[in-house]
Structure 1
Amino acid sequence: MPRRRPEKDARRRRWPIILLFAASVLVGVGLWAYSPSLPPELLIARYGNGESRFIDVGGANAHVRDQGNRDGIPVVMIHGSMGSLHMWEGWVGALGQAARLISIDLPGHGLTGVWPREEYTIEAYADFVEVLVDTLNLDRFVLVGHSMGGAVAWTFAATRPDRVSQLVLVDAAGYPRTGEAPLPTRLARMPVLGDIGIYFKPERLVRRSLAEVYADPAMVTRERVRRYAELQRFPGNREATVLRARTQEPLDPTPLKRLTVPTLLLWGAKDRWVPITDAQRFQADIKGARLVVFDQLGHNPM
């Protein structure tokens, strides 16, 4: 027995060292993973361009691009959750000679940042769009929305039908999900973890999300991952994401049956987030809606 006491004492002396080492590792990992907000001037210089304007929309310093043919039909384009107006650059290049193309960063996204109203629901975003088009002196326009932005678009069209000449929904949200919500949304809704996790480096999560929304892995480029990740670090965007995930009520698709606006549905057949069956439901619910399916594309067919 006397011989074992030194061994017990040695083990007791080792425990504080082990705990200190474990704590040091955790702190080191935390410091490595921590990603504070980036300076807005840096991000504006990096992701703005000569067409970027910043205008007051309901108190938000909204990032807007008004491009294309100023005499053409105005087309207002709304991006999806955690996206930005950069989603529409391909459309601007393809349609710029024929139409006036207006893209925006919604509050809590891109280079717009926080909204003093501190509401980031679909209904609040529809109000934001109304203030935007009033500010731009647009009476009637084509309204385009992708994913969450699609829900904003059809909500706007259902409540303000006199303002929308045509509606285009691209892999739009509208019906209750039958499976799990996307990983970023699930994480944001978690108490404590969601509040802390938003400050960790977003690149790995962004890469995983982009791998899910693009059917072609080649679209998940280093530049695209970097842009998505860095724009999330625009001051206020991550906090807005958490607030939106926790306050948005399930969508009620009932107003879709009352829509009379000419509607075009564009869908990627390989969409893993909003299935093609939802596109068919939209087509059934919106009178006269036309559906075009792209067989080889996913959630981001733009």
Structure 2
Amino acid sequence: MLKGPAGALHVDDGGKGGVPVVFVHASCGNTTHWAAQLAHLRKRRRAVALDLRGHGKSTLDGGGPISVEDFAADVDAVVDGLGLQRFVLVGHSLGGAVTTAYAAAHPDRVVGLFLLDPASDGRVIPAEQAAGLMQALSTDAWGAVIAEYWAPMLAPSRPEVRERVLSDLRATSQVGASAGLGSLLTFDPVTALRRYKGPRLTVVTAFNQEPNSYQRLVPELPSMQVDGTGHWVQLDAPDAVNTLLDGFLSSTT
């Protein structure tokens, strides 16, 4: 565990050699979502995954709203705590927003930015609808609300992947889950993506081809689509993600 801005941060660190790769999970996710990628990369380089505040084994002290930039401060605390100077960032969903925010704030430290089906721009959601979502997440039905929202994104996944994702949702605190989703409602990914000039790639599913998807908002962002998976691509198709990561890393490190 490392000390973070809002509590203790759980870190899975292993491997050695090469430019380190740092992984950031989705809302209601945790380090174990990257198990296949960590095992694959650690054969030849250092690979690190962290639990964001209020997720997995990381704690969350205090209250109040949490921004994507706050979650990026967790990444900052981890890389500083581990003494990492330059590294590649990999982020899934919420983690895509978080790593984008970090890369924009610390471009000289990020060797490359690999986004796996990143969250879309939540600012397009009408204010009344956004307020209704946050209200629903403050009730006892919060888990069911998220599960219903995720259902289309999980539909293409194997049954065991669907159960795993929903089990991790149930294991996440209400505060952490609400913070993860709520932070996306105000984050500006466009400015952040254009601020980071280093190597970038977004790998998206068919579900993530909307007008507010990152690659649609920032056409210069290199992108590619994977088919036949749900939103949790690294769980549905770990070998395919490993191959894509290898290609990205070979071109950037």
Q: TM-score, normalised by structure 2?
A: 0.77
The answer (yes or no) to whether the contact 2:27–2:180 under 8 Å persists in 1 is no
**CA deviation digits over 1:95-151, x for unaligned, max 9?**
221221111110011111313475521011111211111000000000111111101
- Stretch deviating more after TM superposition (93-102 or 113-122): 113-122
Q: Provide the residue aligned with 1:147 in structure 2.
A: 93
C-alpha change, 1:212 and 1:93, in structure 2 (3 Å) is farther
Secondary structure of the residue aligned to 1:120 is coil
Q: Provide the residue aligned with 2:229 in structure 1.
A: 297
Shift of 1:77: 0.5
- Stretch deviating more after TM superposition (74-83 or 205-214): 205-214
Q: AA paired with 1:61?
A: A
Q: AA paired with 2:158?
A: A
Taking the aligned partners of 2:146 and 2:137, their CA distance within structure 1 comes to 16
Taking the aligned partners of 1:225 and 1:176, their CA distance within structure 2 comes to 22
C-alpha change, 1:130 and 1:117, in structure 2 (3 Å) is farther
Higher relative contact order, chain-length normalized (CA < 8 Å, sep 6+): 2
Residue 121 (structure 2) aligned to one of 175, 180, 183: 175
Shift of 1:160: 0.7
Taking the aligned partners of 1:97 and 1:256, their CA distance within structure 2 comes to 31
Taking the aligned partners of 2:74 and 2:162, their CA distance within structure 1 comes to 32
C-alpha change, 1:163 and 1:282, in structure 2 (3 Å) is farther
Taking the aligned partners of 1:154 and 1:141, their CA distance within structure 2 comes to 13
Supply the RMSD in Å over aligned alpha carbons: 3.1
Q: Provide the residue aligned with 1:213 in structure 2.
A: 153
C-alpha change, 1:76 and 1:108, in structure 2 (3 Å) is same
C-alpha change, 1:264 and 1:247, in structure 2 (3 Å) is closer
C-alpha change, 1:217 and 1:157, in structure 2 (3 Å) is closer
Superposed counterparts of 1:180-259, under 5 Å: 189-190=134-135, 193-197=136-140, 202=143, 208=148, 211-221=151-161, 224-225=164-165, 227-232=167-172, 237-243=173-179, 245=181, 249-252=185-188, 253-259=190-196
Superposed counterparts of 1:66-215, under 5 Å: 66-67=13-14, 69-116=15-62, 119-176=65-122, 189-190=134-135, 193-197=136-140, 202=143, 208=148, 211-215=151-155
Please list every run of 5 or more consecutive structure 2 residues that lacks an aligned counterpart in the other structure: 235-253
The answer (yes or no) to whether the contact 1:214–1:220 under 8 Å persists in 2 is no
Q: AA paired with 2:177?
A: T
**Within the alignment, does 1:284 sit opposite 2:231 as a pair?**
no
Secondary structure of the residue aligned to 2:47 is strand
Q: AA paired with 1:259?
A: Y
Please list every run of 5 or more consecutive structure 1 residues that lacks an aligned counterpart in the other structure: 1-53
C-alpha change, 1:243 and 1:263, in structure 2 (3 Å) is closer
Q: Provide the residue aligned with 1:61 in structure 2.
A: 8
Taking the aligned partners of 1:173 and 1:139, their CA distance within structure 2 comes to 27
Shift of 1:174: 4.6
The answer (yes or no) to whether the contact 2:29–2:165 under 8 Å persists in 1 is no
Residue 209 (structure 2) aligned to one of 265, 268, 275: 275
C-alpha change, 1:221 and 1:133, in structure 2 (3 Å) is closer
Q: Provide the residue aligned with 1:36 in structure 2.
A: none
Q: TM-score, normalised by structure 1?
A: 0.65
C-alpha change, 1:239 and 1:188, in structure 2 (3 Å) is farther
Larger Rg: 1
- Stretch deviating more after TM superposition (123-132 or 252-261): 252-261
